[in-house]
Amino acid sequence: MMKWVWLGVACLGSGWVWAAPPVINLYTLDYPPFVIRDSPQSPQRGIAVELVQQALSHAGLRGQFVDLPWKRAQLQVMSEEDGCLMPLTRSPRRDGQYRWVGLIDDSSHSLFVSAGSTLQLHSLADLKGLRVVALLGSSMAEWLRLHQVTFSELATTEDAYRELSLGVANVWAVHSAVARYLVKKQGTSAVPIREAMRLQDTGIYLACGKRMPDEVAQRLGTALKQLRDEGAVARLMAKYLD
């Protein structure tokens, strides 16, 4: 019997010890509004953080956040039984590398421009000669590269929004929920933006290592689906975006 099962017991001397569930290592990327860290010392928060914490509780599992550079974390999870990435966008290149345990958000990859811009985008050919920006190492950058779009990668989503706001960039390629959050965060000083072109529907997931035991993945996946069905995701989206 696997060591994580709640009902497994071991005899130690004259007493019985109940086997503890595994501790899930959670590797995160600072990706507001899904994962937000206001400072290096502050606890993580955000849509994905709150949702996964609720799912772990529902599934009778424990989790701990582990700080690693994002690219290293993606490799680390592949070798672990109890490691997960959040949030991770599902893509053809990544599809066979992880267990896609539970959907966190289904939004879109879109192209945004300043609300006052006269740009009209009907196809990727319309991007020729424009400065397009995207987050470094993101699935959005991967998509643009695959479709041979010339673009610049920036270190943070805030950098990308700032360039668009200042007119340094013409187009921002980003998840729609991320764009909405960053505009809201600026408050009354925000430069309004508009969605000029939707590129594709996409899903943001809790993605775990393929070595994770089936029972653990199923418990966690079931808990996430139940929370979605009960409206937890919609409430969290409203909390951070409205």
pLDDT tens, residue by residue, 42-66: 889 999 999 999 999 999 999 999 9
Distance separating alpha carbons of residues 86 and 50, to the nearest angstrom: 11
Same domain? For 166 and 153 the reply is yes
Same domain? For 220 and 191 the reply is no
Same domain? For 18 and 69 the reply is yes
Q: What is the pTM of this model?
A: 0.82
Distance separating alpha carbons of residues 104 and 228, to the nearest angstrom: 8
Tokens of 36: 């937000």
Domain membership flag for residue 4: no
Distance separating alpha carbons of residues 73 and 84, to the nearest angstrom: 9
Tokens of 201: 């529907």
Same domain? For 78 and 196 the reply is no
Q: CA 212 from chain center: how many Å? A: 19
Domain span at 154: 107-202
Same domain? For 97 and 113 the reply is no
Same domain? For 101 and 23 the reply is yes
Domain membership flag for residue 3: no
Where the chain has pLDDT below 70, the residues are 1-20
Same domain? For 195 and 175 the reply is yes
Domain membership flag for residue 170: yes
> CA geometry: angle at 177 spanning 176 and 183, to 5°?
90
Same domain? For 13 and 24 the reply is yes
What local confidence, expressed as pLDDT, does residue 137 receive? 83
Other C-beta atoms lying within 10 Å of the C-beta of residue 195: 14
Domain membership flag for residue 1: no
Domain membership flag for residue 138: yes
Tell how many helices (H) and how many strands (E) occur in the chain: 7, 10
Number of domains present in the structure of the chain: 2
The enclosing domain of 219 has a CATH number of: 3.40.190.10
Domain membership flag for residue 228: yes
Q: CA 227 from chain center: how many Å? A: 17
Same domain? For 115 and 155 the reply is yes
Tokens of 7: 């009902």
Domain membership flag for residue 2: no
Other C-beta atoms lying within 10 Å of the C-beta of residue 90: 16
Distance separating alpha carbons of residues 75 and 201, to the nearest angstrom: 26
Same domain? For 148 and 174 the reply is yes
Domain membership flag for residue 136: yes
Same domain? For 214 and 191 the reply is no
Same domain? For 14 and 102 the reply is yes
Q: Which residue has the tokens 């409430």?
A: 235
